[in-house]
Structure 1
Amino acid sequence: MVAITIHTKMYQLVMLLITIQSCSAVIYSLNETEYYKMPRLYDLDEYSACLQEPAAAYCVADFELFTEEDSALMDMIQQYSDHKMKHFNHTQIHRGVCVTRTCADFIQNLNDTADPSGVLEACLNHTIWKDYRIQVRLKEIRYCKRAGDTIDIDTYDVIVAVVYVILILLNVIGSCYDIMFCKGREKSGNPYLLAFSISRNWDRMVASPKKGSEPRLERLKLFHGMRTMTMFCVFFSHTVLMMAFSYVNNPLYIEKAYEDPMKQILFNGSLVTHTFFVMSSFLMAFNLQLHAEKHQLGWHHWPKGVLTRWLRLTPTYALVLATISTWMRHLGSGPLWELVVGSEAAACRRYWWAHLLYVNNYVYDDALCAPQTWYLAADTQLFCFGLLLCIAAQSKRARTAALTLTFLASLVITALHTYLQDLEAVVIQSPE
């Protein structure tokens, strides 16, 4: 009995030592006094006032903290940053610097700001060393804006503007034609012009189902409520997601928010998007079954269904991408405008083809183009696969086998993907 007790205590001691060892390099929480001993994670000089000066230069850059000697503060920063699930990486700091004002003492010639790398590193290193006794090195200059810099209107901007003018004219002509010659809904007329009538399109959008329409579709009205509630959750999720693309004035608030169970609804809101996949798949299969009651399903339905979906989604989608790539750049300015909007415009110009082919969720770059449209690509791919499956498996036995195999395959693929790439069990929107 004594031997068992001794072994139990030794086992508990070993497990305690292993736990302490595994946790020794990570700080999970800091009080505010200790937290504010670290350099500010983000900081921006005044943007508009800076660029009012002649030969001014404003740069947004990332810096790495380091030290060549023992530093308790640097150790604390590294250990706190190692808890990546809930903490920002405080070993890197991000600054928007008015080079010609903040770093004036480090510039020999204020007019020579062609390569501000050395000036920025020396300037910030001096400030951080003076206040915190640690050093910094320049990691990357995101962009530099100089007084008088403007974004020129290029050929693509002109093309998109012409497209907008044509669409507006078509809407005006179609609406006037409908009102003046067709008297609203009283008469029919040229279908191509009436397709651009605002009043007719509005009536179709808000119209109730016609009498004699498929009664089984009436049972699906609840989908409108489900989609509305899901959209609210998606909006909440994307407000949190913006912290990954911009500077945050109060990073401690976000880090503490991970301890609040109620805010997990926001951090995990992206999972709600999967309800769209379920609804989309159900509606596709349901409508296909209704169609199959009166028509013989064949392989020709697959390319026809894929093409119909592509034509329904792509014109509007293409116009949104074209707007982001061109005129969105001209609609504002600020210290983070080029970082957030300009980088997205450049990415859309580079990867527009992946979006129009709906494979953009497999094409990744640091500068993402319309990142929220990943679900549109995923939904389109699932639609193509689901439609193929429904056409291939038309007997009860074939459908049972197909659903069973695809369900098991989805579990295996997800498990392997998570294991081999060492991912979290669920999608976690960590601060970084």
Structure 2
Amino acid sequence: MRQFDFDSVDLDAMARSGTVKWSAFPNSSDYPEAIGMWLAEMDLGIAPEVRDFIVGCADRGDFGYVSDEWRKRTVGATIAWARDFGWEISPERTFLSPDVLTGLRISIDRFTSAGSPVIVPTPAYMPFLTLPHEHDRDVIEVPSALGEDGLWRLDYEGIEAAFARGAELLVLCNPWNPAGRCLTRGELERLARIVDAAGGRVFEDCVHLPLLLDGAEAAVYGALDVASRHTVTAVAASKGWNIPGLKCAQIVFADEGDAAAFAPHAHAVSGVASTLGVQAAAVCYEEAGEWNRQLRGYLSGNRDLLEARVAAWDGVRMGRVEGTYIAFLDFAQLAERGAFGDLTPAQFFARRAGVTLTEGRSCGRGFESSCRMIFATSTAILTEALNRMERALAGVRKYGTPCA
């Protein structure tokens, strides 16, 4: 069996890559190169099957509009892949789109009342908190809690109260960006009963479903019988196979009536998915499973390293990452001690360590002292980032002065 090398990437190569993850924040620290750990994409290349397919398209000059045959193939590949998670869907309820967020737009515009609020459990993927405003919707944030067992838990009572305030749609991310949880079937069933009793809807983001770590089992909310009347689910190969720039996702309606109502309007959505994205998604699902399996093993090792290092940092907490390649670090205790001065933790690490992280406040109110960290990089780069962060924290403890 072929073994894939995920260790070859280094800082010099990433600095030259020119991607937004590595170029958006010019380095202003004492280190020669900033380490980009704020954007949810991987530094670990792509599967050779995908690479060879794209090169073949280029050699043939094959960049025309996507055919119906390819659309059907990609939908069929999605359906076959979904069965690995006990999720049975039909082609009549599966549509192509350029990205997962399109599913949220569809859910808001077509399946909720004008002006009704949108519920977002936090910490959340940042656009979930801003996109509803583009549709003239308020967002009701429902903060979740990090338990002593290291797992983030939904606030069911808070969600129920939000529906009682007039909300009609809940945004659910499973596996959960940035909390790292894979919600259990029991947790999802409890949530579904609340939504069903309220007559509500759910948009489910499963874009990280191909990134379960160490055999974690993820139950798909839209596959539950009780959720079948009210759920729109979005999946994609973009995260699990590192092709976000190719722009193709799959939108699945749990309810046949919802799918039939959307079908006449589907071309306006599926027509803007890219040709290469549609084709590459099928290649990922059908041919590149072994690459994804080895990738998940590598990411599990990075996760374990990250958890072990953070556990040694006094005053820092991190939830257990069961799926995704994203960690959410809580620096609230250090912030309360004044360790960061007037800076947020993300600003502190950018300045003192040359490590760029996502601002916790972008993931919801009350998380101003947290950071979102992407660990889908080589173990060497992750180790260097952690060394830099540790030295920055040690400097604060040693001299007792905050960063100015």
Q: Confirm or deny a common fold (TM above 0.5).
A: no
TM-score range, shorter chain: under 0.3
**Which has a greater percent of helix?**
1
For CA contacts below 8 A with separation 6 or more, give which structure has more relative contact order. 2
Normalized per residue, the structure richer in strand is: 2
